[in-house]
Structure 1
Amino acid sequence: MRRIAFMVLVLVLAALASGCRKTEEKGAGGSGKLRIVATIFPVYEFARAVAGDKAEVTLLLPPGMEPHSFEPQPGDIVRVSNADLFIYTNRYMEPWAGEIVKGAGGRKLTVVDASRGAKFLKAGEGNNHDDHGHGGHNHGGEGMDPHLWLDFTNSQLMVDNIAAALAERDPANRSVYLANAAAYRARLADLDERYRKGLASCATRTILHGGHYAFGYLANRYGLRYLSAYAVSADAEPTPAKLAQLVNQVRAEGLKYIFTEELLDPRTAETIARETGASILMLHGAHTVSKADLDRGVTFMELMEKNLKNLREGLQCR
């Protein structure tokens, strides 16, 4: 009953938003710019890089909100209803995106799946053969890893998909969008090369992570082994057996560092560190950022540069 009532409210609000929209056909606030709503931080960043000053890009999820546990509210549907483009990462990361699109009505809404054409990995594929990547907590129930932007070749593909959608929706500025995309794609390619070189010669090639399964694409791209404390869902909790296994792994391999992640409770990493004497370093998955970071203008590139620095330290790279 709650779901039915919610959808009825969504439809009413979407109808109201559609009426308001008719008075705003020239773009955000009458500026003539495209209005873009992007779900989470990576696609928000990519959309801003591609759009430049030709669009107003807003972030759907509040700062600090985990996309894994996000539940759209009627106000979110209204925001999307009033947009020209709605950009989401992929159906595994945002299984709720379809619900938003249905509620928004879609009369003139361009919906962009930024992952179109990407090859997804299963959680645990290629570098982690434990069962915690397949524990039923995965997005869409299909056991796929949704964090594809942490392979920077995927990030480049996402940028191209966003640019193509903007160019089609606003052909007058097509050349601007394509040029901006090419410039940002080159920066991502350079970042990828620096990761490749920076992680080529390391004392250990195991990333042991006291958080949820988020860095599989990164590990797969650079030939690293990746072990996480629990599954793809950030709401999961590691079992005592899993914690014991990871503690034994640190001791057996003589690992000096373990990793934790942004805005999640660090207790698991702290427990492993306390039991083994290892130190803790941060890895940022860029799913979300704090309000303070967003307000100061933190960038995807900045976060990934910090990741490379901490990976080189944690893996003891030359």
Structure 2
Amino acid sequence: MRVSSSRRLALITGVSLAFLAGCGSSSDSGSDADTSQAAASSVVPVVASTNVYGDIAEQIGGKKVAVTSIISDPDQDPHSYEANTRNQLALSKAKVVIENGGGYDDFVDRMLKSGGNSSAEVINAVKISGKTAPAGGELNEHVWYDFPTAGKVADSIAAALAKADPADSATFTKNAAAFKSKLKPLEAKEAQIKTDHGGESVAITEPVPLYVIEASGLKNATPAAFSEAIEEGDDVSPKTLQATLAQFTGKKVKALVYNEQTSGPQTEKAEQAAKTAGIPVVPVTETLPAGEDYLGWMTANVDALASALAK
């Protein structure tokens, strides 16, 4: 999900108004009291831009960390998120900050600067991934759907926590190794999909799941103009919409991978066209569903894709 100029302005405006009013709604999983308690008990205060990275941090840090995830509501569209004063306070006290980068959550860097926190260890997942925009294209910043990147992020979190809490560095390293070992079955599932269905085409509504799709040897048949417009929150032209819906005619694609967290009239038309054609729909989200952890969530996503392709 790329944040457009209008959305960036909304983020800045939302923060400014929150400061003027002295209050604001929050969708973070922690609280000011949590941060104070963390300092008192010598656990490491960690702030993650979303609960995806917050969960990974908790798996690496265990009881040695107090994690605040800024975007954590599975029913909230991350495209329209507005940071607030509670987020600002948490970031000002964090020793470790985990952001996605790539334009996904620029408010983190702005708030770190405005809060005067220059000492926090900042982990940028896109930079760690090493991924760049293809020639003539745009970067797919949804790198948490790339399992090798998730492993690199885990190692970076362990290193940052070890710097903040050297006495427990061995624990962090061990936990990161355990997390990475649990990513291997996910990569094996992708490899099996590639063996069974490599070269087959699927449709998407947004680029969110593309790293899994590509690692599974599948082709994305959706016009780029459609998925990019949906990602930016822009209207899809009638011609592009017609071309998108046409891919479901005659079952030219085996499945539609649908970002249900940012659905709208045009994506709903795609979903209905797929269902009418008897093409399976695989729902995905950008943040963790309630009660899920990263590994369980991604396992369910990959299993659902494999199941849909097998129909």
Instruction: Provide TM-score, normalisation by structure 1.
Output: 0.77
Q: Give the superposition deviation at 1:267.
A: 4.1
Q: Please give the alpha-carbon distance, in whole angstroms, between the structure 2 residues aligned to 1:283 and 1:199.
A: 20
Aligned pair partner of 1:48 in 49, 52, 58: 58
Look up the equivalent residue of 2:63 and give its one-letter code.
D
Q: Please give the alpha-carbon distance, in whole angstroms, between the structure 1 residues aligned to 2:271 and 2:85.
A: 43
Q: Give the superposition deviation at 1:25.
A: 10
Residue 80 of structure 1 corresponds to 91
Q: Which runs of 5+ in 2 are unaligned?
A: 1-8, 23-33
Matching of residue 104 in structure 1 with residue 111 in structure 2:
no
Q: Please give the alpha-carbon distance, in whole angstroms, between the structure 1 residues aligned to 2:87 and 2:79.
A: 16
Flag the 1:203–1:112 CA change in 2: closer, same or farther, 3 A: closer
The CA deviation string for residues 20-42 of structure 1, in whole angstroms up to 9 with x for no partner, is: xxxx9996162221111111122
Aligned pair partner of 1:170 in 153, 165, 169: 165
Residue 47 of structure 2 corresponds to 37
Aligned pair partner of 1:302 in 285, 296, 306: 296
Matching of residue 220 in structure 1 with residue 231 in structure 2:
no
Instruction: Provide TM-score, normalisation by structure 2.
Output: 0.79
Aligned pair partner of 2:155 in 120, 145, 160: 160
Q: Please give the alpha-carbon distance, in whole angstroms, between the structure 2 residues aligned to 1:5 and 1:237.
A: 24
Contact 2:186–2:302 at 8 Å: present in 1 too?
no
The CA deviation string for residues 68-88 of structure 1, in whole angstroms up to 9 with x for no partner, is: 332322331112112222211
Q: Please give the alpha-carbon distance, in whole angstroms, between the structure 1 residues aligned to 2:265 and 2:199.
A: 24
Q: Which runs of 5+ in 1 are unaligned?
A: 14-23, 135-142
Worse-matched range after superposition: 229-238 or 152-161: 229-238
Residue 138 of structure 1 corresponds to none
Residue 18 of structure 1 corresponds to none
Q: Give the superposition deviation at 1:99.
A: 0.5
Q: Please give the alpha-carbon distance, in whole angstroms, between the structure 2 residues aligned to 1:149 and 1:315.
A: 22
Q: Once the two structures are aligned, what percentage of the paired residues are identical?
A: 20
The 3-state SS of whatever aligns with 1:251 is: coil
Residue 282 of structure 1 corresponds to 282
Q: CA RMSD in A?
A: 3.3
Matching of residue 230 in structure 1 with residue 227 in structure 2:
yes
Aligned pair partner of 1:57 in 46, 52, 67: 67
